[in-house]
Amino acid sequence: MENISDLNIENSKEKSVKIDIGGKTIKFSTGKLAKQTNSSVLVEYGNSGVLVTAVMSEDAEKSYDFFPLVVDVEERMYAAGKIPGGFFKREGKASDKAILTSRLTDRPLRPLFDKNLRNEVQIVATILSVDQINPYDILVMNGASMALTISDIPLDEPIGAVRIGKIKEKYIINPDYEEIEKSSIDIIIAGTESAILMVEAGCSEASEETIMEAIEIAHNEIRKLINAQKDFKQLIGKKIQEGCRFELNCDVKNRVNELARSRMQEILNYIAQKAKSGEMIDILEETKKGYFQDELKIINEDVKTKLIEEFPDESESISYSLKDLERTLVRKMILEDGIRPDGRKPDEIRKITCEVGLFPATTHGTGLFTRGKTQALTILALGSMKESQKIDSIDSEEFKRFMHHYNFPAFSTGETGAFRGPRRREIGHGALAERALKPMIPDKETFPYSIRLVSEILESNGSTSMASVCGSTLALMDAGVPILNPVSGIAMGLIKDEASENFVVLSDIQGVEDFYGDMDFKIAGTKNGITALQMDIKIKGISVDIIKKAIYKAQAGRIFILNKMLEAIPKYREKLSESAPKITTFRVPKEKIGEIIGPGGKNIKAIKEEFDLEAIELYDEDNEGVVEIVSPDENNVFLARKKIEALLKGIDDINVGDEFLGTVVGITKFGAFINIIPGIDGLLHISKVTDKRIDKVEDFLKLNEKILVKVSSIDKKERKISLERA
């Protein structure tokens, strides 16, 4: 362990520590800013600075029946020297990046608090400065842990967080934006000194071995961050508060056991008996949420009704005791018998059905994916590049052409609820699915469209984010988007006995297994490798060996699900959806854009009207001109492109084989003269008008008629061009 002098802690009112991670220095300092908090830490990295504060309320809110932890990330445009756009000129709602960073920070910290604590704890990370070189999310995560560690707020132990990239065969610790862009993996790992708590990743079909190597490399760096926090705590840490905690009424617990244990056990015994005999439990598909959950609801309501009369002020103890009993019995059956609440074996996947082509007259692509009692309907919309999303953040300004959104209405769980825009969970799940699919989306040169996928969760009983990945893949293929490889996803779970260290890894977890289990490990990928993963732990971390077993077990499950999807649609459709707009983009010399537009827009307006186009867009990109043509009619797009390409050519630019949309300007006995570009005509000989012998050209061509022709020969000395039909 590094000692205090090694950590360069300054002996002044403002205390600071510097630590080297991957050859870069992170500095934590406290004692100067925001001194009325329980603690505050300024984290500096490069020229970026994040102030992280931690505050715990003095009193507990009696209405809470959970530990109320809140993490907020506050972006400020001044951090990048910018003034916000819009009328009000101030920051509005949190950006998606700020929300995702809040979730990244919350997930590894929450398991390290006593779940019975009822004082509200709020962590606020204010982004004061960004150098637009280094991502700030790692600073927020480590700053939050440091602020809690040196405070009087009761956190069990500190965490560290590290990002890992890989360029060719070299792993990079905390890569900057440029390195992330070149990297085949982008993985954030958080953990304690002895265990991993969270993994979040986006990859370009990475192997399981690559993921495991990255986690092991990261854990070594995490230990350095944790040691620094422990040493800093010894120097300036405060005496820990006890806080207000929920205390279980043991009399209530005993009564719950008396009234409910045998009834719950009877249900589980029935499931185990059917599973062991190999019989199908048809009732599982017939009930609303599943046999176990529906029967459990009846027992819970019955017990609560009886006990609230005996213990009118102990509603929380009643609910807690019922959940604890359910948890104990479910986990026992899985650990001892290898049987799950719906009768499945640990590695068994629920029934899967897939469908494509819903609403073909109006939508561009649809995919309906159903797995057990989880159902996701994804609908795809294609648009021109001008419909890309503009993102003006404190890091950079960019245009995003691929978007995935996720909606989780209350009716998906058979409940009521208001629609008030996407919540943090919906933004997080949408981003995870987007990350999983993005590496497989063709580039804009291959497929010049903006793409928006929306996953509507219609039924929910576990792993809706992975269902949305599968539904979205189906929608992309249904629309005819030439994806590189189809992507499927699966959620893995874990039941671990802390006393014996025995554990069971579960494939395709449902809601009750997520709720009472110890892990939610979502893994998405293609037949070739992983494209995204997200691991959350409810216990105080798991070993690398457990992660390894889960990740390899997920590989088999992922391929099984993918094969089920490919039964519905084996490959993306060769032809784009009839209802989709037809778009082409091509590059032209930047200095020629003016010629295409013409004086006062004359040329471009005439072409748009002539071919009934929705739009013609011209813009600069990479110091070149780009033309984008949009129309519902594919033939009109093709003809308009030929017209524009012709505008840019003189006779010296014309080559044999070039095609033009020409206009018949003269008819003679031996052929027709076709104007192919302004001021230049070519001869279409009578023998080339059709593939048959004809006597009169005028029987087949009319003046001012437009035809597609191809250059067959050029005499540049005589400035003569011979044509044939294209």
Q: Where are the alpha helices (DSSP H) in 623-691?
A: 634-647
CB 81 within 8 A of CB 395: no
Amino acid sitting at position 698? E
Which tens digits make up the pLDDT trace of 213-267? 999 999 999 999 999 999 999 988 889 999 999 999 999 999 999 999 999 999 9
Sign of CA dihedral 430, 435, 436, 440: positive
Of the chain, the percentage scoring pLDDT greater than 90 comes to: 71
Mean pLDDT, residues 439-465: 95
Write the CB contacts of 263 (distance below 8 Å, at least 6 apart in sequence).
Answer: 299
Helix (H) or strand (E) holding 433: helix 424-437
**Model pTM score:** 0.88
Which tens digits make up the pLDDT trace of 135-175? 999 999 999 999 999 999 999 999 999 999 999 999 999 99
| Domain at 15-236, CATH from 3.20.20.30, 3.40.50.300, 2.30.30.60, 3.30.230.70 | 3.30.230.70
CB 481 within 8 A of CB 442: yes
pLDDT at 1: 39
**What is the number of other CB atoms lying within 10 angstroms of the CB of residue 297?**
12
* Proportion of the chain in helix, strand, coil states, percent, rounded to 5: 35, 30, 35
Which tens digits make up the pLDDT trace of 580-603? 999 999 988 888 888 888 888 888
Q: Which two tokens stand for residue 409?
A: 């209405």
The answer to which of 191-195, 226-230, 277-281, 433-437 has the lowest mean pLDDT is: 277-281
User: Which sequence spans correspond to the domains of the chain?
Assistant: 15-236, 250-337, 352-568, 581-645, 649-726
C-alpha to C-alpha distance for 476 and 451, rounded to whole angstroms: 9
Mean pLDDT, residues 430-450: 95
The domain 581-645 having CATH identifier 3.40.30.10: the answer here is no
Q: How far is CA 105 from CA 80, 177, 446, in A?
A: 22, 20, 38
- Residue 84 in this model has a pLDDT that exceeds 70: yes
CB 80 within 8 A of CB 95: no
| CB < 8 Å & 24+ apart, contacts of 288-292 | 288/414, 289/373, 289/413, 289/414, 289/461, 289/511, 290/341, 290/342, 290/373, 290/461, 290/510, 290/512, 291/267, 291/342, 292/267, 292/268, 292/341, 292/342, 292/512
Write the CB contacts of 240 (distance below 8 Å, at least 6 apart in sequence).
Answer: 152, 153, 154
Mean pLDDT, residues 309-314: 92
The domain defined by 352-568 folds into Ribosomal Protein S5; domain 2 (3.30.230)
| 581-645 has the same fold as 15-236 | no
Mean pLDDT, residues 491-506: 93
pLDDT at 623: 81
Helix (H) or strand (E) holding 454: strand 450-459
Report the chain's C-alpha Rg in angstroms: 32
CATH architecture label of 649-726: Beta Barrel (2.40)
Q: How far is CA 168 from CA 165, 182, 214, 471, in A?
A: 10, 9, 14, 32
